[in-house]
Structure 1
Amino acid sequence: MVAEGWTELAENALQAFGAWNGASRLVRRRLLEAWLEDLAQVREPLALAMTRETGKPITLARGEVGRAEATLRASIDAVASFGEESVPYDLMAGADDCRATFRRFPLGPVLAITPFNFPVNLAMHKLAPALGVGCSVIWKPCPQAPTTSRLLWESFEAARVRVSAPGNLLQLAGSDPVRAEALARDPRIAAVSFTGSERVGRHLEQVLAGKRLLLELGGNGAVVVDEGVAAEAVAGQLAPAAVAGAGQSCSKAQRIYVHQRLWEAFVPAFVSAVKALPLGDPMDPATVVGPMIDEVSASRMDASLDRAVSAGATLLLRGVRQGALLPPAILTGVPEEDPLQGEEVFAPVTVLTPVATFEEGLGKAAATRFGLRASAYSRDQRHLRLAESRLRAGGVLLNLPPTFRLDASPFGGVQASGNGFEGPRWAMEGFTEGRLIVEGPAL
């Protein structure tokens, strides 16, 4: 159902939950399998709508739809194995005739709030696991991609009708943030899963105290590059991780700390690799760097570059902004207190900084309140093990860019980057509560 009445949405969700939470794993899995079949029928329309509405290059949009299918497959697989674990009470003296299991039960109706940068796959990371464990869902998608969101919802509805699942199981809500907050506060909503800005996430923490709140709030991804690695190869990996899709990714490579002995080889290689990425029309299959979500965002970032230069930074690469299309920018000498270092930069902007040692790079990389993704490149196994322990992030990538992700794996952050993990198996934990069930002999 598509509805604007928020009280009606909550009541519908509660009723749908009552009809769905007792469904067997077989029934829940069949619904997701049917959705996968229907999703395949709208691959290209989804990708085209995404590109038209968000400016994501069409090749990346098609890739995102493919990833959403992979996320749905992983959710189908997780349904089969998630939810019940045997507990060996019969190993305890006096309980050897007991049977015990640790089971997880769905919390209730879920409010899922998703952003514009991955309007299909990030939605699937919430919707499929929640439905798969027996929750009903109200989905508030981003306002920037209404056609994309509706197409995805319609593919679910077609599947739901085909397998005779309950109505209102997945409701599509409007984009009014005031009414969305009222819905989040509604006692009939058991959990809120939000991906978006730190500012909104922290506000939700304050107003939803005591309610299950799952947050993914972005980051300012750091990469530490050690001496001895192949400069051109590492630069070639990091260039798209920094600027593809206009750099509008919470796990993008934003701050790159390079060992001073590699600096002279790495910097020109990185600049060259970024310049080589096709820029422009998002409908061109060759394009890697398209426009930002809107001209206001691009203009704001353009002004941030001017401010950083005024504060002493040096530009290694910059182009002329054309509306929402902001060419990639690379800077060095950016003060540590500058927002380009300390905040999330949701744009094709990268800061390079030389460091005297790998350990110094790790220290600078970790000096942030964020903690979503971080990377380290080294040929020294001792350095890689050091990176594992010192890079405080939900995901630490070794000899890989911070954007490297398998959708079936856990993905989440610590500190200001949020709490909990997505990835179907781990998202299911967030939408359920555990219960130890112990059964003794009949008396």
Structure 2
Amino acid sequence: MTAHFDDLHRLLIDGAWVETPERLGVENKYSGAEIAQVCVATPELIAEAVATARAALEKGAPAPHERAAILYRAARLLEDQRERFIALMVAEAGFTRVDAATEVMRAGLTLELSAEVAKSLTGHTVPFGAHPGSGQRIGFTVRDPIGVVVAITPFNSPLNTVLHKIGPSFAAGNPTVLKPSSLTPLTAALLGQVLVEAGMPKGYLHIIQGEGRLAEHLLTNPDVAFYTFTGSTRVGRIIQQHVGLRRSQMELGSIASTIVCADADLDKALPRIANAGFRKAGQVCTSVQRLYVARPLVAEVTERLVQLAGEMLPGDPDHEETRVGPLISAAAAVKTEAWIRDAVAAGARLHCGGQREGRIVHPAVLSHVPAHVNAWCAEAFGPLIAIQPFDTLDEAISGANDTEFGLAAGIFTRDITAAMTAMRQLRFGTVQINETSSARADVMPFGGMKSSGFGKEGPAYAAEEMSIERLIVINP
């Protein structure tokens, strides 16, 4: 499929598409060829975006039912542009067509969920009758927009993660200034066109393109009320240093673990584990990286996982049969290959994969990985799964918890006691029972603990964070 990107190079500022002389090249992540050049924002345009966003908010947001109608229209228009979004993500993100189609489907659902939130976001009543001397009072809370929201988004979900920020923000009545990844700017630009066509009010969405250094102008602007960021823990810490007392939501780094107990249903578990480890070339914050397997099952799990990895064909992401596309850059592919090679040199066993062809790294299954090597103790963000045997569930839980991160974990077991133990003891923001660490429904609250961040995505939960709850008391 040939995709045309000529109309996606401009910035969106106060309802107008703006050009600037400085340009940023966008590569096809499989071939490395340049496919577009997008305009780079200036500090003046960034300041204008924030100022006009604040001015729009001061005029008043559209009524909740109007915001919902806009989001519903956007979901329909997004579906109309389905094939173009798929082509864009295949080219600029390196997604396989399967992964890109899933992203579009989920993005439509996220818009619809956000529309429902726009209609239902409310406060609650306060039971003053329980307090002596206050029985005649009536109290309730109301939710107001928090203010200008800045959203900084990653390359590995250039559509749905963007909507997990814009959708709830608008549902709560806030204007948003979006800074998408400089590696995947075109998908965000097309989404901007969809939202404008759907009726997004002037001033309520601004799209700033450029490399990460531009974010400093957003971080130091005092008119921004809320920051929502998905990315590395290192960058998250930098953002927090600037934010101060302003509120934020951070979805940061991860080393995700999944536990396979001796009584697990392997027919159910193993295909999900392979998909969770290798989809999007392993570039998912919850990808299965550490796989703890009950010792009696290690040989069978390893053999079957190697077979499943071999069935996930790597190659050109635009081919229908491809299941593992390129990593986001040549440097990322070289790093992943090096981490696998270093692990083997340190004593790990490589059962399959690990070879690099350009930006493609074949899905790798390793075992006996020493605890000090990067493939075990750092976030890989590449297609590798490291198997670790365990003798007791406490041993597996302790190993999974032995990291600074705490985003998501999974366990496969038919034992209710084991499931309850894992639920209570795994120190992760999400614990999945009979599912991998990388399963996510867009309706659920999603977020981490420890160095994986704080706050929740998921439209209903994010909209609450992006609003201010005020108490009203009537005293007769």
CA shift digits 1:206-258 (9 cap, x unpaired): 12222212100031110111112233432222001101110110011110011
Structure 2: 5+ residue runs without aligned partners? Answer: 1-11, 19-40
Partner residue in 1 for 2:193: 154
Which segments of structure 1 move beyond 4 Å, counting only runs of 4 or more?
none
Q: Mapping of 1:418-437 within 5 angstroms?
A: 418-437=453-472
Partner residue in 2 for 1:19: 59
Partner residue in 1 for 2:148: 109
Matched residues in 2 for 1:62 and 1:235: separation?
23
CA shift digits 1:32-69 (9 cap, x unpaired): 12222222221111111011111100111011011001
Partner residue in 1 for 2:161: 122
Check if 1:10 corresponds to 2:50: yes
1:172 aligned to which of 207, 213, 216: 207
Partner residue in 2 for 1:349: 384
2:96 aligned to which of 49, 54, 57: 57
* One-letter code aligned to 1:58: R
Q: Mapping of 1:180-329 within 5 angstroms?
A: 180-329=215-364
Moved more, 67-76 or 35-44: 35-44
Partner residue in 2 for 1:78: 117
CA shift digits 1:115-151 (9 cap, x unpaired): 0111000000000100110100000011112221111
Q: Is the 8 A contact 1:19 1:166 kept in 2?
A: no
Matched residues in 2 for 1:179 and 1:253: separation?
33
* One-letter code aligned to 1:191: F
* One-letter code aligned to 1:14: R
2:400 aligned to which of 342, 349, 365: 365
SS at match of 1:434: strand
TM-score, scaled to structure 2:
0.89
Matched residues in 2 for 1:91 and 1:386: separation?
37
Partner residue in 2 for 1:410: 445
Partner residue in 1 for 2:432: 397
Q: Is the 8 A contact 1:231 1:269 kept in 2?
A: no
CA shift digits 1:278-317 (9 cap, x unpaired): 2212112222111111111101111111111111111111
CA shift digits 1:317-374 (9 cap, x unpaired): 1243111011111111111122221211100011001111222111111111111110
* One-letter code aligned to 1:158: E
Q: CA RMSD of the aligned region, Å?
A: 1.4
Partner residue in 1 for 2:5: none
CA shift digits 1:45-95 (9 cap, x unpaired): 111101111110011101101100111111111222212212222454443
* One-letter code aligned to 2:112: R
Partner residue in 1 for 2:67: 28
Matched residues in 2 for 1:365 and 1:280: separation?
32
Q: Is the 8 A contact 2:340 2:354 kept in 1?
A: no
CA shift digits 1:175-230 (9 cap, x unpaired): 23222212122010101101011110111111222221210003111011111223
* One-letter code aligned to 2:349: T
Q: Is the 8 A contact 1:20 1:166 kept in 2?
A: no
Moved more, 411-420 or 170-179: 170-179
Check if 1:38 corresponds to 2:77: yes
Moved more, 31-40 or 41-50: 31-40
Partner residue in 2 for 1:145: 184
Partner residue in 1 for 2:38: none
TM-score, scaled to structure 1:
0.95
SS at match of 1:254: strand
The structure whose residues are more often strand, as a share, is 2
How far did residue 439 of structure 1 move?
1.3
* One-letter code aligned to 2:48: E
Task: Kindly tell me the number of residue pairs found equivalent between the two proteins.
Answer: 436
Matched residues in 1 for 2:441 and 2:354: separation?
33
The structure whose residues are more often helix, as a share, is 1
SS at match of 1:412: coil
* One-letter code aligned to 2:307: S
Q: Is the 8 A contact 1:228 1:262 kept in 2?
A: no
Q: Is the 8 A contact 1:317 1:331 kept in 2?
A: yes
Q: Is the 8 A contact 1:83 1:105 kept in 2?
A: no
Structure 1: 5+ residue runs without aligned partners? Answer: none
Partner residue in 1 for 2:107: 68
Q: Is the 8 A contact 1:20 1:135 kept in 2?
A: no
SS at match of 1:422: coil
How far did residue 405 of structure 1 move?
1.1
Matched residues in 2 for 1:387 and 1:224: separation?
9
CA shift digits 1:9-32 (9 cap, x unpaired): 1111111211344x3212221221
Check if 1:384 corresponds to 2:423: no
* One-letter code aligned to 1:81: S
Moved more, 248-257 or 225-234: 225-234
Partner residue in 1 for 2:24: none
* One-letter code aligned to 1:129: P
